[in-house]
């Protein structure tokens, strides 16, 4: 029987995933910025874990996450936050996310992958892990751009031409004259001579 993972956002899932996050590596990759004044309140690993909470819990926006963080002790435990009064705000999370670089995320991915592959040394099978970091996101970000404002760079693709042809056919069908009324339908469709 397969063992199922706990439900998303529960303390059981966070407790299960917490040991796999390489805090030392993350702290080495994202050192606090050198500046005057008070030192940074949160380490790179703590902010990275809070970013993971936005993926592992139902609070997918930073605004909602910062509102719910004081109420959820298991979330704060996962993020290694000391108490409910000293928490990162939305600006800190956005600043940290803007400092994330692809090569740093790849190093974390390789660290996680190494632990996964070490446990499979006794198997004589090949393992392939798909890395989708370079693929474009499937979003509707450009959905509302008017068609007239974008310049065409080449000929219309075959799929678009086929869609246009289907649209022309449907316009012809819609313009077919039709009648309505209370006349008997049976007499109108009688094909007998």
pTM above 0.75, yes or no: no
Q: Select from 102, 87, 103 the least CA-distant residue to 47.
A: 87
For the record, the structure tokens of 45 come out as 């690993």
Tell me the mean pLDDT per 10 residues along the chain, length 193.
76 88 88 66 89 89 91 90 88 90 89 77 66 68 59 58 52 52 52 55
Q: 79: buried, middle or exposed (CB in 10 Å: 19+, 13-18, 0-12)?
A: buried
Q: In this structure, are residues 76 and 88 in contact, taking their beta carbons and an 8 Å threshold? A: no
User: According to the model, what pLDDT value does residue 90 have?
Assistant: 92
User: According to the model, what pLDDT value does residue 49 have?
Assistant: 92
Rg (C-alpha) for the chain, rounded Å, is 29
Task: Round to whole Å and give the CA distance between 83 and 95.
Answer: 22
User: According to the model, what pLDDT value does residue 191 have?
Assistant: 55
Task: Round to whole Å and give the CA distance between 190 and 193.
Answer: 9
User: According to the model, what pLDDT value does residue 136 have?
Assistant: 67
Task: Round to whole Å and give the CA distance between 25 and 22.
Answer: 5
């Amino acid at each position: 029987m397969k063992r199922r993972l706990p439900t998303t956002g529960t303390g059981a899932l966070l407790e299960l995933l917490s040991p796999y996050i390489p805090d030392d590596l993350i702290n080495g990759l994202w050192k606090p910025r050198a500046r005057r004044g008070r030192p940074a309140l949160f380490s790179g690993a703590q902010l990275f874990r809070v970013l993971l909470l936005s993926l592992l819990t139902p609070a997918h926006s930073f605004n909602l996450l910062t509102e719910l963080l004081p109420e959820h002790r298991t979330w704060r435990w996962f993020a290694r936050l000391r108490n409910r009064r000293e928490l990162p705000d939305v600006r800190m999370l956005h600043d940290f996310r803007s400092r994330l670089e692809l090569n740093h995320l790849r190093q974390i991915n390789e660290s996680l992958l190494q632990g996964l592959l070490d446990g499979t040394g006794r198997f004589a099978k090949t393992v392939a892990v798909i890395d989708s970091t370079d693929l474009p996101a499937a979003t509707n970000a450009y959905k509302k751009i008017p068609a007239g404002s974008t310049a065409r760079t080449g000929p219309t693709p075959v799929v678009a031409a086929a869609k246009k042809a289907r649209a022309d056919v449907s316009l012809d069908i819609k313009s077919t004259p039709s009648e309505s009324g209370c006349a008997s339908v049976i007499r109108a469709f009688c094909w007998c001579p």
